[in-house]
Structure 1
């Protein structure tokens, strides 16, 4: 290569591109960013460098830069099917769903046998709430690649969101073949439970997936216990305090080695399929309750801390950053300004995690009490919620806690929500005390919090 410095080894372009891709796939995003910028400085018009640099920018949260780089790569190499295929996902993250639809269709036009291109397009139809089309396109991906777990799971989510529960639960079984599901189930030769009776203590129920899922589906444990008395429940330690309230459980364990000699297992999220759950027969809420002593203790503390005469509203504004859809469900604290402008409310934050730091920048008429640092576990959260008039929250585990104990809740949802919240309704069969406030446009929260505030 002309211009190379004497004594410095020149790395072939193909090797540098492979290195860049490997760093991105290994989640070494700082190193990948540095290498991408150096490669762009040397070859700013190379389409594949631009494309990979765009992916890395996207994963680092610089969405506008990602779009700019990847659009340029597509202009430079308009016949490269990989580019619109990946652009489909980046446009989705940017909230540009019309552009995402165009890119997805272009990817299929260029590579009509690429199952991943159909899968990406199915995701876009889900985001646009075109659920029948999402199912149809997912089926095309599956026809090309029958064991494509992500396509089966996307089909499940579209079916369930549309209320087609029986079909949806069947496709939902593919979730354990997803890469991120590794380790969720025990490594065993024992069969998955098929719904037939077992002797006491011989069924293992696994608290799989997130905290919210476990709380939601735990209502079905008593049904399983009718067929298999005293089932063993394996779950995260953070859930043991509250799930031990569920009737019929034999014992709760937090390590695989303590599960004992079970004969069959079932993931907690697999119980709705076996029980034949539809939107019409969801077992009632009210299956959890905070401990009386803890309720009394928090009540006394809040009576001291909260100004007299103000209505108490609890608040959660952010979810777990590693959640696959956190970008579209999480808000900033400042976006709840319509609540903060009220002079009749006291805001009690029950937010956990790093996002608590946003409280430091709070300015509002309503007094704000940051309870997050004092909350030890879900038992504390439940007890606090007994002393508020309303919970206002994004779609996270606290919404499930509130719904399970019957606390009035305003749940703010993205335009294309998680499947469990269904479509076209303000209520939910899972939790009668929860009212749903949906985005009218994808990735646009304008008007949502105003409607919440007006409802209180």
Structure 2
């Protein structure tokens, strides 16, 4: 049976058209392989316009737009998935795109589709964990990394990702263990060694940390992060010259490395070089990945403020707010109008203390403010030298009526030196733990005759107080109707009636100093001393630091000896 010639001609024309379409598709792929992505996208867009049924062209266009971060990538991915709903790659890319946009629930559904479609589970979980970590969803990221290493225990990148996520969750021992697993699989990974060194430094294991960081630099001398972490370690060790050298090397490799810039600023401030220190201290927002409040307003750089309205934005913890507030009177004297934003718990206290300013909670709308200045940036302008620190004894004013009430309550305790005590921060990360004490270490002070100990520790410490009273045989006075954590007005009135406050670097000590009361602050040297043996911010504060070989418990014992000289007064 012969084939009719009239049928052969249409078949030939069809094959020609198919060949033409395939040629255009191959041309687009070649353009993409050559890096001519925009031309490849144009070719594919024209192809799907003429042949909307061509699934392979839709798939290629969708993946190309996704790689270009094109705004139409999502729509194109969804269109391609209509033709091939079981395409694991398309589903995974759509999931990542949605995750980057913060649409986590939709992203999870797309990723589930990818897994069902047969996507490699460990790789997909690694990708998803990495994306979640980029979104700072560290708990979910850790879950994905755990899933990846369960499927592929030999995947070093997944162990490294798990270590990073656990570090962000402050589970540092587990993070170090995960990073060590990654290094057993890939010992030459300098970045992972750098991360492990940073964690070991935070854990206080400086010797091990230094070994890892120097090993990382031996593997790759271009590791700016390793130099930065080594510089921070040496700064903590008080080896300022070596710290400066390491930080300078980090910044030579990466001038925009915020952590190195900040630590170099802290080094300058520690030495008393205030102009250089304050300049680099401005990197703190980037280094700590904190949002900058009211960043749509111009930043005040010290120009005249007559007739203008400036907002002082709150930052960091309450203790920092209290310290930086010492500069507010200087600003108020310079500006037409000052708006002060602070922790909501400080609003009434700041309103009374700075009556010429408008005080409102942090996070408030900018309103009619024309300029902004973060509270921690004020010293760069008004405290650029030590002589610029005024000798005023205080800058906060407690509620006079509540001061009277608390005066009566403390008088009821009987004669003796009324000493407020606190022993740790409310934010006890692993890195901060070494700077504080346990209440059971306060025995030498509790044994000093004539002291009336008053609790200023503002977290949940009732059980510790009960145990300390049994151990020491003396009362530690506290009142159930005073919330030391949230009632700063009541705490300020109580503190104003104390003869002395003994505390580490916590808001209780900062509040006492801001009120002008005597404070004995114990702890290591820090940058807020600005190269001096005191803290210039607080004229009424005295510092007690550990000597060579001393623990914080030894410092407390030394303070007990000192207070016996002070008590009779």
Shift of 1:181: 2.1
Q: How much has 1:337 moved relative to structure 2?
A: 2.9
Correspondence for 1:395 among 484, 502, 505: 505
C-alpha change, 1:36 and 1:140, in structure 2 (3 Å) is same
What is the total number of aligned residue pairs between the two structures?
442
The answer (yes or no) to whether the contact 1:314–1:385 under 8 Å persists in 2 is yes
Distance verdict in 2 for CA 1:113–1:270, change over 3 Å: same
Q: 1:128 aligns with which of 237, 252, 273?
A: 237
* Contact persistence 2:125–2:148 (CA under 8 A): no
Task: Sort the Cα spacing of 1:268 and 1:249 in 2 relative to 1 into closer, same or farther, 3 A.
Answer: farther
* Distance (Å, rounded) in 2 between the aligned partners of 1:88 and 1:133: 17
Cα distance between partner residues in 2 of 1:418 and 1:324: 18
* CA 1:260–1:73: 2 relative to 1, 3 Å: closer
Q: Is the 8 A contact 1:218 1:246 kept in 2?
A: no
CA contact (8 A) 2:341 2:364 kept: no
Give the structure 2 partner of residue 335 of structure 1.
441
Alignment of 1:351 onto 2:461? no
Query: In the TM superposition, what is the alpha-carbon distance from 1:292 to its structure 2 partner?
Result: 2.2
What pairs with 1:147-186 in structure 2 (closer than 5 Å)?
147-182=256-291, 184-186=292-294
The 10-residue stretch of structure 1 (398-407 or 333-342) with the greater mean CA deviation from structure 2: 333-342
Q: Contact (CA 8 Å) 1:149, 1:177: kept in 2 or not?
A: yes
Deviates more, 1:171-180 or 1:378-387: 171-180
Tell me how far apart the structure 2 counterparts of residues 102 and 346 of structure 1 sit (CA, whole Å): 48
2:567 is the alignment partner of 1:449: no
Separation of aligned partners in 2, 1:137 and 1:66: 25
**TM-score under structure 2 length normalisation:** 0.68
Instruction: Note if 1:300 corresponds to 2:378.
Output: no
Equivalent pair of 1:91/1:100 in contact (CA under 8 Å): yes
Cα distance in 1 between the residues matched to 2:370 and 2:157: 52
- Provide, for residues 174-221 of structure 1, a one-character-per-residue CA deviation record: whole Å limited to 9, x for no partner: 223345320x42142x32122222333522222333222222222222
SS at match of 1:231: strand
The partner residue of 1:278 within 361, 385, 397 is 385
Q: Is the 8 A contact 1:232 1:259 kept in 2?
A: no
Match of 1:420 in 2: 528
User: For 1:314-333, what aligned pairs fall within 5 Å after superposition?
Assistant: 314-321=420-427, 325-333=431-439
Q: Secondary structure at the match of 2:388?
A: coil
Partner of 1:223: 330
Q: Distance in 2 between matches of 1:373 and 1:337?
A: 27
- Which residue does the alignment assign to 2:92? none
| Matches of 2:264 and 2:530, distance apart in 1 | 15
Residue 413 (structure 1) shift: 1.3
Mapping 1:206-221, distance limit 5 Å = 206-221=313-328
> C-alpha displacement at 1:81, in angstroms?
0.7
Q: Retained in 2: the 8 A contact 1:320–1:326?
A: no
Distance across 2 between alignment mates of 1:214 and 1:132: 31
| Contact map agreement 2:353 2:397 (CA 8 A) in 1 | no
Return the alpha-carbon distance in structure 2 between the equivalents of residues 220 and 173 of structure 1.
Answer: 17
After superposition, the Cα gap between the structure-2 partners of 1:349 and 1:432, relative to the gap in structure 1 and judged at 3 Å, is same
- SS of the residue corresponding to residue 314 of structure 1 reads strand
Question: Does the aligned pair in 2 maintain the 1:253–1:259 contact within 8 Å?
Answer: no
- Aligned counterparts of 2:539 and 2:548: Cα–Cα separation in 1: 25
Question: Residue 243 of structure 1 aligns with which residue?
Answer: 350
Rounded to whole Å, the distance in 2 between the matches of 1:330 and 1:301 is: 29
Q: Is the 8 Å Cα contact of residues 344 and 362 (structure 2) preserved in structure 1?
A: no
Following TM superposition, by how much is the alpha carbon of 1:420 offset from its aligned partner in structure 2, in angstroms?
0.4
1:409 aligned partner: 519
Given that 1:318 and 1:355 are in contact with CA atoms closer than 8 Å, whether structure 2 keeps it comes out as no
The equivalent of 2:495 in structure 1 is: 385
Quote the Cα distance in structure 1 between the aligned partners of 2:148 and 2:467.
Answer: 37
Give the deviation of 1:135 after TM superposition: 2.9
Partner of 1:287: 395
Contact 2:170 2:429 (C-alpha < 8 Å) held by counterparts: no
> Given the alignment, which residue of 527, 534, 537 partners 1:430?
537
Give the gaps of 5 or more residues in structure 2. Answer: 1-115, 564-569
- Contact preservation (8 Å) 2:417, 2:450: yes
**TM-score normalised by L of structure 1:** 0.84
For 1:250 and 1:443, the matched residues in 2 are separated by: 45
CA deviation after TM superposition for structure 1 residue 57, in Å: 6.1
Q: CA deviation at 1:160?
A: 0.9
SS in 2 for 1:181: coil
Change (3 A) 1:454 1:103: same
CA contact (8 A) 2:436 2:523 kept: no
Q: Deviations over 1:342-372 (max 9, x none)?
A: 4532221112133455334333222112347
Q: Which has the higher contact order (CA 8 A, sep 6+)?
A: 1
Q: Distance in 2 between matches of 1:176 and 1:28?
A: 20
2:210 to 101, 109, 116: 101
Other-structure match for 2:196: 87
Q: Which of the two has higher C-alpha Rg? A: 2
Q: How does 1:367-378 map to 2 (within 5 A)?
A: 367-371=475-479, 374-375=482-483, 376-378=486-488
Task: Tell me how far apart the structure 2 counterparts of residues 324 and 269 of structure 1 sit (CA, whole Å).
Answer: 25
Unaligned runs of 5+ in 1: 1-6
Q: 5 Å matches for 1:30-69?
A: 32=142, 36=146, 39=149, 43=153, 67=176
Shift in Å, 1:277: 2.8
Q: CA deviation at 1:128?
A: 0.8
Q: Which residue of structure 1 lines up, in the alignment, with residue 340 of structure 2?
A: 233
Q: Is the 8 A contact 1:119 1:138 kept in 2?
A: yes
Shift of 1:80: 1.6
The residue that corresponds to 2:255 in the other structure is 146
In structure 2, what is the Cα distance between the partners aligned to 1:162 and 1:41?
52
By percentage of residues, which structure has more helix?
A: 2
Cα 1:365/1:107, change in 2 over 3 Å = same
